[in-house]
Structures are given as structure tokens and as C-alpha cells.
Amino acid sequence: MIHSGSDLSPGDNEKYEEEYDDRDGGNDIPDTEFGGTEARKLLERKFIWKVDLRMSVLVVIYILNFIDRNNVGSARLRGFEKDLKLQGQFVAKCHDGLIQAPHKTGAEFATVMSILYVGYIIMQVPSNMFLNWTAKPSLYIPACMIVWGTISCLTVCDSFTGALLTRFFLGFVEAAFFPGALFLLTKWYKRNELSLRIAILCCGNIISNAFGALMASGILSGMEGKLGHAAWRWLFFIEGSLTIAIAILAIFILPDFPETTRWLTDDERALALRRLQEDMGSDEEMESGGLSGLWMAITDWKVWWMALLLTSWTVTLSFNTYFPTLSATMGFNRTVTLLMCAPPFLFTAIVAFILSRHSDMTNERCFHCIGPLAISILGFVIAISTMNTAARYLSLFLMAQSFAGFIIFYAWISQSFPQPVSKRAVALALTNGFSPLGNVAGAYVWPSAWGPTYRNSYGICVATSGVAIIMCLVLRWHMKRENFRMERDEVHKGVSKKGFRYIL
């Protein structure tokens, strides 16, 4: 992750020094093991830069993760359904090079899209538990990349059954990455540093929609018939091979956990562990067995509330997979259609970065999530109301903003389960593993019969966005009450040091 200087403002520096004075019992020389407070701050800045540079490879991996997942949507424009003889195929009637709206009904393409998330759901919790046990993300994540890149290359099957099998196992293996990456970030960064890093990571998701469309445009327009293969088959060959190549490089770049990473100095390792202990709690609070963490996570209702909230939000984001189809309804040729998919997501990536940075600076999450949802609802309403080309293209920009809030919500999840570490690993995997049910449902929200207006589809997205907004507000209300209760208990017990508080 690219890190811009120190995270501490002048006002924060004063709080920082007071905090460590108190923590060391008023010692005149706090942080003596690091040479004092000023020496520690200098070491900490260098340490964060070092980790950020290593972590930046996660963005590249996430771009490839989503490209391999969503390239079927682009392949749809170049004969994927026709060659596999799928029922209810997307028929792109061309007249003078213009794509007309799809007009047949059927569910086989939607099933091909949704089956990936069945495997994705099954594997996420076991994968994160295994990652916590091995403590070797530098080997585990790249190994999974190599496997899913190989499977992506094999999506050149000739039947509906073959497509189902490859997509299922692709989701099964891809499930290791995102919850694993989130968990890896929480092992290195403090809570007030996480939102920006998660935002930069998730920008890989947003950028993949833009970059993937540009790649697909070039491959689909230039590779038709090469070596006797259809252009959409080359799309899977090339993108899968690229994933395998980056995975090999990632083995030498990705860090492990602070306890097991070899390239840390002794001071850096001590600082990494000290930072987490101060931010999350005592060593006893942070350590817990895997099965204990699993039980603590599944019995915490907030985990399930956040999982359901994410599921509703994911249905809203189902337009993402069908973005080339929605762009095609504006009547341009295949190449222009794919090129037009890029600007909305490039703009969203910029907005997401700025909004996440502001969310960190203000230490606020709820309203930074709700704002983009409200803007996306405006986009859906515009798309429902008109078939005007300019207005519908504007609506694509507005509805894409929902991703900006989605990113911040992941930071909110990560910061709401501070300890033990095993519980946080399961909570992240469980919320992220449950929410793809929204992808499964969302695959059926955009049937060809509802095109080219897709008014019913946009209406469903408005409803699920509204549900997500209400659930965010309820979650904030509960956390605010809990913060008040914890503060009251500390006053009652005469505790001088302020403990954990939920970020609202």
C-alpha cells in the first residue's frame, strides 16, 4: 500500500505522547526499548513505509482476482454463450455494427455466473482458519493464485457442464484471497490505519472493472481466429497466464505475519507486536485457539448482522458483473461498449480513495457508507426513468459509487472485532463468505427478458440499497450504546485507562 508520510497530525502527536506517558506509568523516558518516543516515531514511519511497499502487491493480485472472476461478462459479447450452446443466450443483433438489446430468456448464463460464488462461500472460513494456523500468507496466497490462474485458463470448455465445473472450482480457490488479504492487513496495521489500506486494496476491485474491460476490448477485437481459437477463448488463456506469472513474483514480495516474517529487524518485529498489543488489547486478549475463535465469531450477532448487510449490498452491486451488458444497451459496437465500461470505475476509484482517507481522518464509518449508497440510488432511479444515452451513461457513474461505501464498510468490519485474533480471522471470513449469497441471487436479477430498460433490475437494486442503509444506521445505534456502556463501566470501576471503543 502506498503510504503518504506520517499518519500523525500535530494534535495527534500530543495525544500520542500523553498516551505513552500514561502507559509507561509516567516514565520520563517512554518507549525505552526503541530509544524514546521520538526515536520510536521515526522507526514507526520507516516501518510502515516498508510494510506498505510489500503490501502493494495485494492490489495487483486483487485486480487479477476480479478479472479472472468477471471476464465471462466480457466474453459474453463475443460468442461465449453461442459456442457453449447455452439456453437463453445473449443474442447481440448487429445492424451497421451496433449492438441491440438481448432479447431471449433463460437461466444458464446466470447459473454459470452464480455457481462461482457457491464454491467461494464454502471455502472462505476454512481458508482463513488455515491461514491463521500456517502463518505463511506469502506461500499460501500465491499458491492459490497459481491454481485459480490455471483453472481460469481451463474455462475454454465446450459445454454448459464444463463451464459450471470450472467456474465452481475457480470460486473455491479464489475464496482464499480476499478474506486472507483483509486478515493479513489486520495483523500489521492499527485500526486508524486500516481504512485507507483496505480502500487501496479494494480499489483493485474497482480498477479491475476498468482495466479488465480495456484488456478485454483489445483481446476480443484482435485475437479472433488466432491459431484457430475464438477471441473469447484467448481472453481466458491470456488473463489466466498473467495471474500465474504474478503469483510467482508474489511469493518473494508478500510478508508473512510479524512473528514469522524474516526481513524484519529485531526492533521492527518488536514494534510491530507492540503496536498491535496497544491497539487491540493485551497479549492474553489477543491469543486464542482457532476453535475458540470460531465459536466466539458465530455466537456474536454483529457478525451475522454485518454478513446480512453485506449480502443485501452485494445484490445492489450485481450490476457490476453485467456492466458490459448494461453498456451495450446504449447501442454502440463491441469495442466502444467495453471501452465505455472503464471511466465510471476509474472515477469511482478516485472517489473511494478520497472518501476512505476522510473516513480515517474523522474516525467515522457509518455515514461514509450511507452517502455512496444514496448516490447509487439516484443512479438507479435515473436508469429507470429514461433511455436517453447521456443520462444512462451518467447513471452508470452514479451507481458505481456504491463501491466506495462498500470499501469503507470492510474497514468497519475489521475494526469491530479487535480480539482475539482467531475471532477476527473467522469474523472477516464469515461476513465475506456469507455475502456472496448476494452474488448468487444477483446473477438472476438481470434476465435478458427485462432488457433493454432493466427497470425491474434497477428497482431491486434500489430496494437492497435501502435495506443496507437502514441496517448501517441500526448497527451504528447499537455500537454507540455499547460505547456508552463501556465508558460507564470504566467510570464505575475507577479505571483510568480508556479501553476499546467501537468506531461509529
- In this prediction, residue 92 carries a pLDDT of 41
- In this prediction, residue 140 carries a pLDDT of 94
- In this prediction, residue 311 carries a pLDDT of 93
Q: State the pTM of this model.
A: 0.71
The three-state secondary structure class of 96 is coil
Q: Is CATH 1.20.1250.20 the right assignment for the domain spanning 288-503?
A: yes
Q: In the chain, helix, strand, coil percent, each to 5?
A: 75, 0, 25
CA-CA distance, 169 to 116, in Å (whole number)?
7
CA-CA distance, 22 to 479, in Å (whole number)?
27
- In this prediction, residue 87 carries a pLDDT of 60
CA torsion sign, 130 to 134 to 135 to 136? negative
Q: One-letter amino acid identity for 366?
A: C
- In this prediction, residue 98 carries a pLDDT of 40
- In this prediction, residue 210 carries a pLDDT of 74
Q: Please report how the helices 177-186 and 402-415 are oriented relative to each other, as an axis angle in degrees rounded to 10.
A: 50
Are domains 35-87+105-278 and 288-503 of this chain identical in fold?
yes
- What does the DSSP assignment read for 323-386? HHHHHHTT---HHHHHHTTHHHHHHHHHHHHHHHHHHHHHT--HHHHHHHHHHHHHHHHHHHH-
The domains of the chain are located at 35-87+105-278, 288-503
pLDDT tens, N- to C-terminus, the chain (504 residues): 444 433 434 444 444 344 444 444 444 445 777 777 888 888 889 999 999 999 999 999 998 888 888 778 777 777 777 777 776 544 444 433 444 434 344 578 778 888 888 888 888 878 888 888 888 999 999 999 999 999 988 876 777 888 888 889 998 899 899 889 988 998 898 877 876 787 788 777 777 777 777 787 788 777 777 877 788 888 888 888 999 999 999 999 999 998 888 888 888 888 888 888 777 654 444 444 556 767 888 888 998 999 999 999 999 998 887 787 788 888 777 778 778 888 898 898 889 888 888 888 888 999 999 999 999 999 999 999 988 889 999 999 999 999 889 888 987 887 787 666 677 777 877 887 788 788 888 878 888 788 788 999 999 999 999 999 999 999 999 999 998 988 888 888 877 677 778 888
Closest CA to 432 of 407, 464, 462: 407
Whole-angstrom distance between the N-terminal and C-terminal Cα of the chain?
24
- What fold does the segment set 35-87+105-278 form as a domain? Growth Hormone; Chain: A; (1.20.1250)
Q: Is 462 exposed, middle or buried (0-12, 13-18, 19+ CB in 10 A)?
A: middle
- In this prediction, residue 332 carries a pLDDT of 79
- In this prediction, residue 18 carries a pLDDT of 43
CA-CA distance, 92 to 79, in Å (whole number)?
9
> How far is C-alpha 256 from the geometric centre of its chain's CA atoms?
20
Q: How many CB atoms lie within 10 A of CB 252?
A: 9
Alpha helix ranges (H) inside 91-136: 108-134
- What does the DSSP assignment read for 256-300? --TTT-TTS-HHHHHHHHHHHHHHH--HHHH---HHHHHHHHHT-
- Phi, psi of 223, rounded to the nearest 5 degrees: -110, 5
At residue 376's C-alpha, the angle toward residues 370 and 380, to 5°, is 140
Q: Please give the C-alpha separations between residue 180 and each of 53, 58, 68, 129, in angstroms, as whole numbers.
A: 18, 11, 18, 9
Residues in the chain: 504
CA-CA distance, 210 to 194, in Å (whole number)?
25
